[in-house]
């Protein structure tokens, strides 16, 4: 991508969050931006086949909130007005990890736990209202046009019923820039190889984690009062997980997770029974009393995959990847939407930099770098799981002292408000990992004791009155 995009045409492959936000950035530099989406966009907020994860728990982390407000000023006000629940950590969450219950001290960060269809719908309304952005729906991108030196467009095929649509001759759509935002199922490596270019090297870490989700109503009203969510975080010694959070319509979504060979079932009755595997019965007890409102939906494709377009190789100008098409994470960490927004901010910053020409390689490196913290968290945690496989699982020598230090951080962040604040700022992608090595934090981590944490699930915030706990 040489020079500015002004007066030119950009094509974005995929109309999910990453694609929409990339299109909005490019609209400031191109005369036309075409978003090609294989589905038809729903008129109202709702799941669609192109986003199979949309029926599962989603959270918008603090780093993603900031990025969205930068890209779409006032967006977080719109999201709040639409009713997306705001859950403060650690105050609003009954949370367990590594054998310890978290103190529910004052919130230092907040998650938004509304549904992905709601958030994507609001983004889509804002983005597609821009006069330079046009959406082509119900259409597949089946390849790239150009050669190994430069991508010059995409090949399109309309979706439809029967063999006629499947065998229709693709039609070309010329473009000066193509951005792949087609998600974790991207075909871009094969498209590039067909042009004679090099496909990216792929780093992979796969624990075999699987999860299943179901929507409930809480007749007791427990979720929404002193309790806004439950979270059981798996680790190498305890591999089951659970998340219960509220949604914008007053319902709750429950996600249970387990590893390869012991995946959560999608059978209605067995789903509740599976929660007995958790280290404490409080989630299972809540499920037994709650009213199910949906079927159980499963998801199995949870590998961390990073496509290294930044490494040396024969790759064409005029092609970029973003979102899950570039770097996809184990969804259990809730990073995807936030990273998609941060990728778009990185794209914007490179294009807006008056000091440097935004070449394809420089731009791609910046987008990938914006996903680096999320990769370190997700891949770093997953490589320690007993079922982890993949070419990026092996620990490097430099990882050992860092892992030792971070293990001491994790021992303390459940009960030490100062360490907890710093660690949560990193986990929510709002501060760099160097935050954990600041002198006041390092002193507590290296020299301070592990402070006491609750002996049982703390069902009320600290300072809220009685310290009622589940038994």
Domain of 178, CATH number, reads: 3.50.50.60
- Asked if residue 237 and residue 198 are part of one domain, the reply reads no
Please check whether residue 405 lies inside any domain of the structure: no
Between 205 and 164, residue with greater pLDDT: 205
Between 385 and 50, residue with greater pLDDT: 385
- Asked if residue 125 and residue 248 are part of one domain, the reply reads no
Q: 234-258, pLDDT tens digit by residue?
A: 999 999 999 999 999 999 999 999 9
φ/ψ of 252, rounded to 5, equals -125, 145
The domain boundary residue, chosen from 378, 403, 435: 378
The domain boundary residue, chosen from 299, 320, 342: 299
The residue-averaged pLDDT of 357-379 equals 96
pLDDT for the residue numbered 1: 43
Give me the residue label for tokens 């009755």.
269
First to last CA, the chain: 61
The domain boundary residue, chosen from 299, 322, 357: 299
- Asked if residue 339 and residue 295 are part of one domain, the reply reads no
pLDDT band at 161 (very low <50, low <70, confident <90, very high): low
Please check whether residue 460 lies inside any domain of the structure: no
Q: Is the pLDDT of residue 398 over 90?
A: no
- Asked if residue 327 and residue 199 are part of one domain, the reply reads yes
DSSP secondary structure string for all residues of 116-184 = HHHHHHHHHHHHHTSTTEEEE-SEEEEEEEE-SSBEEEEEEEE--SHHHHHTSPPEEEE-SEEEE---T
Give me the residue label for tokens 């090297």.
201
pLDDT for the residue numbered 465: 45
CA–CA dist 293, 271 (Å, integer): 13
Please state which of the ranges 263-267, 320-324, 463-467 shows the lowest mean pLDDT. 463-467
The residue-averaged pLDDT of 173-181 equals 98
Domain count, the chain: 2
- Asked if residue 128 and residue 178 are part of one domain, the reply reads yes
- Asked if residue 54 and residue 134 are part of one domain, the reply reads yes
Please check whether residue 151 lies inside any domain of the structure: yes
Q: What does each C-alpha distance from 107 to 81, 412, 425 come to in angstroms?
A: 21, 17, 11
- Asked if residue 188 and residue 146 are part of one domain, the reply reads yes
- Asked if residue 45 and residue 158 are part of one domain, the reply reads yes
- Asked if residue 353 and residue 246 are part of one domain, the reply reads no
The residue-averaged pLDDT of 295-316 equals 95
- Asked if residue 151 and residue 240 are part of one domain, the reply reads no
List of residues 6+ apart from 439 with CB closer than 8 A:
none
Q: 108-159, pLDDT tens digit by residue?
A: 999 999 999 999 999 999 999 999 999 999 999 999 999 999 999 999 999 8
pLDDT for the residue numbered 166: 61
pLDDT for the residue numbered 115: 96
- Asked if residue 283 and residue 198 are part of one domain, the reply reads no
β-pairing, 229-233 vs 252-258, is unpaired
Q: Is the pLDDT of residue 13 over 60?
A: yes
| Continuous H helices in 268-416 | 268-274, 282-289, 336-352, 360-370, 372-382, 399-413
- Asked if residue 332 and residue 183 are part of one domain, the reply reads yes
Please check whether residue 93 lies inside any domain of the structure: no
Q: Is the pLDDT of residue 470 over 60?
A: no
pLDDT for the residue numbered 254: 97
Q: What's the domain range around 326?
A: 9-58+119-204+302-378
């Amino acid at each position: 991508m040489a020079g500015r995009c002004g007066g030119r045409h950009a094509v974005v492959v995929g109309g999910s969050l990453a694609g929409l936000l990339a299109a909005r950035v490019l609209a400031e530099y191109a005369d036309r931006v075409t978003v090609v989406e294989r589905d038809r966009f729903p008129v109202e907020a709702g799941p669609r086949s192109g986003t199979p994860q949309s029926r599962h728990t989603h959270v918008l982390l603090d780093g993603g909130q900031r990025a969205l407000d930068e890209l779409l000023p006032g967006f977080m006000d719109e999201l709040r007005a639409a009713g997306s629940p705001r859950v403060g950590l650690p105050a609003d969450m009954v949370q367990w990890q590594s054998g310890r219950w978290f103190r529910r001290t004052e919130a230092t960060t907040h998650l938004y736990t509304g549904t992905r269809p709601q958030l994507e719908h609001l983004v889509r309304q804002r983005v597609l209202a821009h006069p330079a952005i046009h959406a082509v729906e119900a259409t597949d991108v089946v390849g790239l046009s150009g050669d190994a030196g430069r991508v010059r467009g995409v090949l399109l095929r309309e979706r439809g019923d029967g063999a006629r649509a499947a065998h229709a001759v693709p039609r070309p759509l010329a473009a000066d820039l193509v951005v792949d935002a087609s998600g974790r199922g991207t075909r871009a490596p094969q498209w590039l190889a067909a042009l004679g270019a090099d496909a990216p090297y792929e780093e992979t870490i796969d624990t075999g984690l699987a999860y299943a989700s179901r929507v409930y109503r809480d007749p007791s009203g427990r979720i929404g009062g002193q309790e806004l969510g439950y979270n059981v975080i798996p680790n190498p010694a305890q591999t089951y997980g659970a998340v219960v959070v509220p949604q914008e319509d007053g319902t709750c979504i429950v996600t249970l997770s387990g590893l390869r060979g012991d995946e959560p079932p999608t059978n209605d009755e067995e789903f509740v029974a599976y929660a007995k595997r958790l280290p404490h019965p409080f989630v299972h007890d809540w499920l037994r009393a709650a009213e199910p409102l949906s079927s159980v939906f499963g998801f199995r494709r949870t590998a961390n995959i990073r496509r290294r377009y930044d490494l040396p190789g024969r790759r064409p100008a005029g092609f970029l990847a973003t979102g899950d098409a570039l770097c996809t994470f184990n969804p259990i960490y809730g990073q995807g939407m936030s990273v998609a927004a941060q990728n778009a901010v990185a794209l914007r910053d490179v294009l807006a930099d008056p000091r440097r020409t935004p070449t394809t390689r420089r731009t791609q490196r910046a987008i990938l770098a914006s996903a680096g913290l999320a990769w370190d968290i997700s891949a770093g945690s997953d490589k320690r799981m007993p079922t982890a496989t993949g070419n990026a699982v092996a620990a490097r020598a430099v990882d050992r002292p860092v892992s030792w230090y971070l293990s001491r951080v994790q021992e303390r962040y459940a009960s030490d408000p100062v360490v907890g604040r710093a660690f949560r700022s990193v986990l929510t992608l709002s501060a760099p990992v160097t935050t954990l090595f600041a002198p006041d934090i390092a002193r507590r981590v290296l020299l301070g004791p592990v402070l006491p944490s609750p002996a049982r699930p703390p069902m009320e915030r600290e300072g809220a009155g009685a310290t009622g706990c589940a038994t």
